[in-house]
Amino acid sequence: MRRSMLGRLAVAACSLSLLTAFAPAAVAQADGGGHDRSYKKVGYFTQWGVYGRDFQVQDLEANGSAGKLTHINYAFGNISPQGRCFTGNVPGEADAWADYVRPLDAANSVDGVADTGEQPLAGNFNQLRELKAEHPGLKVLISLGGWSWSTHFSDAALTPASRKAFVESCIDLYIKGNLPQDGARGGAGAAAGVFDGIDLDWEWPGSAGDTDTTYRPEDKQNFTALVKEFRTQLDAYARSQKKKTKYELSAFVPTAPAKIDAGFDVRRIMRDLDFVTLQGYDFHVSGEPRTAQQSALRARGDFSVDGTVDAWLRRGAPANKLVMGMPFYGQGWTGVSGGGDGMGQPATGPAPATWAAGYEDYKALKKLADSGAYTIHRDRRGGHAWLFDGTTLWTYDDPQVLRAKTGYIREHGLGGAMFWSLDGDTADGELMTAVDRGLRGR
C-alpha cells in the first residue's frame, strides 16, 4: 500500500496529547423524511488494486457503492524530481498501463462493452468516465502524493515559479487530460472530463514523512501558497471553459497536533479548499510493540477521531468542511500475551495477512469474525472494535462502529465521511451501505 507501515508509525510516534472540551458545531438540519443536508461520501480507489486484489472500477457498480458515493479520489498521481505532475510506465513511480492503457473486456467494463485497440483512453481512467456517465452527480478527483509519492512536494512548492509550473502541469495532465502518447492511447485531451478536481495528499508539509520525502520549516507557508495557486488556476481554467461548476480542491490532513501546527495554516488554507479529509485511522499500527486501537471515535489521553476533529476546529476549520476518514481495513498483531481481551498487551509483531503483514482488508476480517475462531470485542464508550483469538488481534471498523461515527458526523455538523480504501469492502458493499444509511439517519 502507498500509505506504508512506516507512514503509520511516523504518525503514531508523535507525542500524544489529550484534546478535551470539544464544543459541538451546529447540528445539521434534517428534512421531514430524515435526510440530512448532502454529506460528502469520499472513497479512495487505488490504482494498484486492479492487480492482486482484482478490484476494478466496475466493482463499484456491482457492489452498489457507486450510487452512494459523492466523490472518488483516485490514488495516486506522482510528482517528478523537477516538480511536475507526470505519468508513464516507471516501476514504483508511475503506472500508465493501469491508468489509461490497459484494455478491459466486457465483463470488467462499467458499460459492458470491451475496449478496442484504437480508442485513445482505456484503463481505469476510461472506466471512471463510464462510471460518471452512469452516475452524473459523481465527482472524481486525482489525489496527488500519498505516503510514497510525496517525495518531491516540498521542492515543487518551494517558490512562486515552481508552484506555478507544478500546478500548470497537474491541470494540463489531469484536468485538460493531455496524456503522454502510448501507442494508440493518450494524446491531447484524451482524459478530458474524467477528473473534476484535485486532492492534495502531501504527507507531510513541515514534518517527517517517508524516509526519502523532503520537508522544510517553510513548507507551512509554501503549502498555503500552493493551495492558493491551485485554487487560482483551477478557477481560471473553469472560467475559460465557461464551466457552470468549479473544479474542486481538497486535501488529506493529519491527526497529530504537532503535524498540523508544523505544516498547516488552517484558517488560510480552508478559505481555498472545498473540504479536507481527516486522518481517522492508523492512530496505532501493527509495528508497535503493544496492541492498541487504530481508529477509535473517542480515546482518553490518546489519538482519536474526536480529538482530530477538535484539533482542526480549534485552529479555525469550519465543521462543514471536515470530512471524517474511516478505515476499510484493520491493523493486526500476533504473538499477543497477557491474557484478557488482548487490547493493550505485548505482541511479537504484525499479524500475517493477505497482502502486507499487519494490514488486512475488512472483507477478510469479516470472514474471521464469522468463522467463530475470533471473539468480537467492543469499547462502546470509545467507539471501536477488535477481534481476538487469544494470540492474534485485529483492530478495525465494522458496520456497528461506522453507525456510531456517522451519528457523530450528523450531531456535530461535519462535512461527511471518507474511506480508505474502497477495495477493502465486501462484495455487497457492506461498509459503504452502513455509512450511507447512517448519514441518512436510518
Q: Are 421 and 45 within 8 A, CB to CB?
A: yes
Q: Are 297 and 306 within 8 A, CB to CB?
A: yes
The total of structural domains in the chain comes to 1
**Which residue range(s) make up the domain with 414?**
5-328+398-439
| Domain assignment of residue 209, yes or no | yes
Inform me whether the pLDDT recorded for 80 exceeds 80: yes
- Could you say which DSSP state residue 331 is in? E
**What letters, b where the CB count within 10 A reaches 16 and e where it falls short, cover 414-432?**
bbbbbbbbbbbbbeebbbb
Residue 245, number of CB atoms within 10 A of its CB: 9
| Domain assignment of residue 14, yes or no | yes
- Taking only the tens place, the pLDDT of each residue in 149-162 is 999 999 999 999 99
Which is it for the CA torsion 39, 4, 308, 381, positive or negative? positive
Q: Which three cell numbers stand for residue 5?
A: 507501515
CATH code of the domain containing 150? 3.20.20.80
**Residues sharing a CB contact under 8 Å with residue 223, sequence separation 6 or more, in sequence order:** 157, 202, 205, 206, 263, 264, 265, 269
Please state the φ and ψ torsions of residue 56, each to the nearest 5 degrees: -100, 160
Q: What is the mean pLDDT of residues 387-416?
A: 98
Concatenated DSSP letters for 361-374?
Answer: EHHHHHHHHHHSSS
Alpha-carbon distance of 347 to 260, in angstroms, equals 30
Largest CA distance in the chain: 65
- Taking only the tens place, the pLDDT of each residue in 160-200 is 999 999 999 999 999 999 999 999 999 999 999 999 999 99
| Domain assignment of residue 349, yes or no | no
- Residue type (1 letter), 7: G
Q: Which three cell numbers stand for residue 409?
A: 458526523
Alpha-carbon distance of 219 to 226, in angstroms, equals 10
Inform me whether the pLDDT recorded for 352 exceeds 50: yes
Which has the higher per-residue pLDDT, 6 or 403? 403
Q: Which three cell numbers stand for residue 79?
A: 510528482
Q: How confident is the model at residue 7 (pLDDT cuts 50, 70, 90)?
A: very low
Work out the burial of residue 89: count CB atoms within 10 Å of its CB; fewer than 13 is exposed, 13-18 middle, 19 or more buried: middle
| Domain assignment of residue 194, yes or no | yes
Residue 275 Cα to chain centre, angstroms: 13
- Taking only the tens place, the pLDDT of each residue in 191-245 is 999 999 999 999 999 999 999 999 999 999 999 999 999 999 999 999 999 999 9
Return the SS3 of 140: strand
Query: Considering the chain, what is the average pLDDT of its residues?
Result: 93
Of 12-21, 121-130, 184-193, the range with the lowest mean pLDDT is 12-21
Work out the burial of residue 364: count CB atoms within 10 Å of its CB; fewer than 13 is exposed, 13-18 middle, 19 or more buried: middle
What is the pLDDT at residue 5?
Answer: 40
Please name which of 245, 222, 233, 105 lies closest in space to residue 174, comparing C-alpha atoms: 233
Which positions are annotated as active-site residues? 203
Alpha-carbon distance of 261 to 278, in angstroms, equals 15
What is the pLDDT at residue 9?
Answer: 41
| Domain assignment of residue 373, yes or no | no
Please name which of 60, 68, 27, 29 lies closest in space to residue 436, comparing C-alpha atoms: 68
What is the pLDDT at residue 198?
Answer: 99
What is the pLDDT at residue 37?
Answer: 61
Alpha-carbon distance of 118 to 355, in angstroms, equals 35
| Domain assignment of residue 21, yes or no | yes
What is the pLDDT at residue 3?
Answer: 42
- Taking only the tens place, the pLDDT of each residue in 96-112 is 999 999 999 999 999 99
Please name which of 442, 400, 401, 433 lies closest in space to residue 298, comparing C-alpha atoms: 401
**Residues sharing a CB contact under 8 Å with residue 336, sequence separation 6 or more, in sequence order:** 291, 342, 345, 346, 347, 348, 388, 390, 391, 392, 393
**Residues sharing a CB contact under 8 Å with residue 143, sequence separation 6 or more, in sequence order:** 44, 73, 74, 75, 76, 77, 198, 199, 200, 201, 252
DSSP H helices in 55-196: 57-62, 96, 123-134, 153-156, 160-170
Inform me whether the pLDDT recorded for 431 exceeds 80: yes
| Domain assignment of residue 385, yes or no | no
| Domain assignment of residue 27, yes or no | yes
- Taking only the tens place, the pLDDT of each residue in 19-64 is 333 333 333 333 333 334 699 999 999 999 999 999 999 999 999 9
